[in-house]
Amino acid sequence: MLTSENKELTSFRTDLNSDLKLDSGLNLDDILSLAKDLPHTQQAPICKGYLRQKISDFQVLEILSFKPCGFGEHLFLQIEKQSSNTDWVIRQLIKKSGITRKDIGYAGKKDRHSISRQWFSLHLPGKSELIDTADFIEQLDGEGYRVVNHIRHNKKLRIGSILKNEFKITLREVSETIDVRTIDKVRKIGFPNYFGYQRFGRDYNNLNLANELLLDGIKINNRNKRSLVLSSARSFLFNLQLAMRVNDNTWNSVVEGDCFMLNNSRSYFSTKESSNTSTQECENEESQSIQNRLDSGDIHICGWLPGKQDSEVVLKSKELEGKSIDNMSRWIDSLSELGMDSSRRAYRTLASDLECEQKENVITISFSLPSGSYATSLLRELVDFKDLSLDP
């Protein structure tokens, strides 16, 4: 299991930020170490355990952000899948329904090593009573998945149309009693919204490919694979920024010049630098108002996903951002040259309905997260776990 003390990790990061020079060549080993050893908000948990000893130990229920209307050209399918990924299910639906890839929609991808229920849409115009027969629905079932519900809607299902994902996760062979104080803290203030290790591929190989793509200009002919590698690079750069703020103990506290994202939204706003000292009182009031909104969960500090547009942060926030990623300037320049649009991501996630039950050496944790947040990023704050699905 991966363990590290925050003090040692902080020292390592400081040394790395000082010594790593991209102009003389990127040290891939150091990048992989940074990707794996992200700091915790407090001391790393001492409670250890195993994740995914059984496929049923990781369960996900996708909740859409809207209710299908019951009529229209698109057949919505709620599918329960296990030991299969979202792309594989889509390929099976194409074969069984006879439609093309562009006629199928989904809201988000779900982990292969889980039992997950998620929604898909199939564009099947015509009289629904003649199409949506029991025989047709049944023949859509395949190995490792089955249709558990279906309904019509007048629009295609789009990526991101998720209100939340509900998780039920079991950890086994747990070494000791879980720290309820940490659970209460996560319940109250949330946890760092790191991209999970799943984002970077097996053995973090996507970062190796990103290094070759961004620095050496290798060709990745598969469009989806190339997109995944570029997304992994941006995710790593975001994690570096968030790690800096966690080490600085400001991941959840306002720093002058921050950008802020509305809760459960991708909309964000930035603070502006002002040299007018006569407005100092107003600025103080605004700063306190922002901190109050942050404390209430209405907004979150957000970090930069690099692209061709510059980051909007200024002042102290810009200084911290620079310290975290300036040594990755060649990656950032390459992402800009490739024409990728910049975006932002919240530094914090709030888990709703967080509950934990421990019976001897088995822990069951249930909670809900907004779309795009990783359950394993919450788990790592509570338990030092080993994910058995990563074993060869």
Q: How many CA atoms lie within 13 A of 204 on its CB side?
A: 19
Alpha carbons 14 and 270: distance in angstroms, whole number? 28
Nearest CA-CA partner of 110 in 144, 141, 156: 144
Could you identify the residue written with the tokens 């996507």? 206
Alpha carbons 243 and 251: distance in angstroms, whole number? 8
Alpha carbons 207 and 191: distance in angstroms, whole number? 24
Out of 103, 111, 258, 384, the active site residue is 111
Phi, psi dihedral angles at 390 (to 5 degrees): -85, -10
122 and 77 Cβ atoms separated by less than 8 Å: yes
Nearest CA-CA partner of 227 in 243, 209, 241: 209
Alpha carbons 30 and 54: distance in angstroms, whole number? 33
Nearest CA-CA partner of 303 in 277, 329, 321: 321
Q: How many residues does the chain have?
A: 392
76 and 152 Cβ atoms separated by less than 8 Å: yes
Task: Please give the structure tokens belonging to residue 32.
Answer: 């992989």
Run of H or E including 170: strand 162-172
314 and 272 Cβ atoms separated by less than 8 Å: yes
Alpha carbons 381 and 45: distance in angstroms, whole number? 7
362 and 172 Cβ atoms separated by less than 8 Å: yes
260 and 300 Cβ atoms separated by less than 8 Å: yes
Task: Please give the structure tokens belonging to residue 133.
Answer: 């027969």
Please say if 30 is a catalytic residue.
no
Task: Please give the positions annotated as active site.
Answer: 111
